[in-house]
């Protein structure tokens, strides 16, 4: 059997080193690369085409679920999820027969996960794996939707204005505040862009720049200019897209093609 080519995706250097050390005694496994966040993981998946991915659930900017959505369940290799305390993730992995290891890594549990993956690589069909990943993403989306907000309250001089999230085109950062762009009007809210990112549905809103989030169904075109990438919205607005987030955005825009809701 050919050697199993492994990619390790984790934002913590010590965690990546721990996985490497646990894999070192296994002569049938070779680590072909490491990545520190979601965008790097997508690039590594494309360049290295690993047989197995150790994927941290909780990474900054783009968590493990976002990596799955952006890359697509149909293309994703077998995954061993790495998690510190996300109980929902553990329950979902168990229900969908996808393996996981808890931080701090336990040698016996790690060995058991590895043996299960070896068997899966020998026996599992790609379509079966894709189906399990798709089911996991659907379960994770349902859980996120329960927590996602549907409206924002903006204090004004005369009253508190209630703005449905569905009406927001994009959101820009202004120091510790955020500016909502709703049609031809804008509203300043006393909440950071990072805070809003955790409360909005990640399949509706995407962070495309350190200073901008966009509602995905408002995007008409992605364009590369001499100044960099940008998103053209339905109303003609232009929002900058950072290079590292372009691949993520491309994947999210293709998401409906990867999984039926």
- CA torsion, points 40, 227, 69, 83, in degrees to nearest 10? 40
pLDDT single digits (tens) 101-124: 888 888 988 998 888 888 777 765
- Cα–Cα distances (Å) from 150 to 69, 80, 146, in that order, read 22, 33, 10
- What pLDDT was estimated at residue 121? 76
- What pLDDT was estimated at residue 105? 87
Q: Structural domain boundaries of the chain?
A: 4-146, 151-258
Q: Establish how many alpha carbons lie within 13 A of residue 154's alpha carbon, considering only the half-sphere containing its beta carbon.
A: 19
In CATH terms, the superfamily for domain 151-258 is LytTr DNA-binding domain (2.40.50.1020)
pLDDT single digits (tens) 17-39: 999 999 999 999 999 999 999 88
Q: Is the bond into 131 cis (omega within 30 degrees of 0)?
A: no
Contact 65, 57 (CB under 8 A): yes
Task: Return the CATH number of 4-146, one of 2.20.25.90, 3.10.290.10, 3.40.309.10, 3.40.50.2300.
Answer: 3.40.50.2300
- What pLDDT was estimated at residue 212? 96
Sheet holding 219-225, edge to edge: 219-225, 228-233, 238-241
pLDDT single digits (tens) 29-88: 999 999 999 889 999 999 999 999 999 988 877 888 888 888 887 788 888 888 887 665
Q: How far apart are CA 40 and CA 57, in angstroms?
A: 15
- What pLDDT was estimated at residue 41? 94
- What pLDDT was estimated at residue 54? 94
pLDDT single digits (tens) 214-251: 999 999 999 998 888 999 999 999 999 998 888 778 87
pLDDT single digits (tens) 143-178: 666 667 888 989 888 889 999 999 999 999 998 899
Residues contacting residue 149 through CB under 8 Å, at least 6 positions apart: 165, 199, 200
Whether 4-146 shares its CATH topology with 151-258 is answered: no
- What pLDDT was estimated at residue 21? 95
């Amino acid at each position: 059997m050919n050697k199993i080519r492994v990619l390790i995706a984790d934002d913590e250097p010590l965690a990546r080193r721990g996985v490497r050390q646990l894999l070192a005694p296994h002569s049938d496994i070779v680590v072909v690369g490491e990545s520190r966040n979601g965008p790097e993981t997508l690039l590594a998946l494309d360049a290295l085409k690993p047989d197995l991915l150790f994927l941290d659930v909780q990474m900054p900017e783009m968590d493990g679920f976002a990596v799955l959505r952006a890359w697509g369940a149909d293309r994703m290799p077998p995954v061993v999820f790495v998690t510190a305390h996300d109980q929902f993730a553990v329950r979902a992995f168990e229900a969908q027969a996808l393996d996981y290891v808890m931080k701090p890594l336990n040698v016996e549990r790690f060995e058991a996960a590895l043996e299960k993956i070896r068997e899966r690589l020998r026996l599992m069909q790609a379509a079966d794996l894709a189906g399990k990943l798709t089911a996991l993403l659907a379960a994770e989306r349902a859980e996120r939707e329960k927590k996602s907000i549907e409206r924002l309250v903006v204090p004004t001089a005369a009253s508190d204005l209630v703005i449905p999230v569905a009406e927001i085109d994009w959101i820009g950062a202004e120091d510790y505040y955020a500016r909502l762009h709703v049609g031809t009007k804008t509203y300043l809210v006393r909440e950071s862009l990072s805070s809003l990112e955790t409360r909005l549905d990640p399949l509706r809103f995407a962070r495309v720049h350190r200073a901008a989030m966009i509602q995905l169904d408002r995007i008409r075109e992605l364009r590369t200019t001499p100044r960099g990438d940008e998103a053209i919205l339905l109303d003609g607005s232009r929002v900058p897209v950072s290079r590292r987030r372009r691949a993520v955005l491309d994947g999210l825009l293709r998401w409906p093609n990867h999984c039926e809701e």
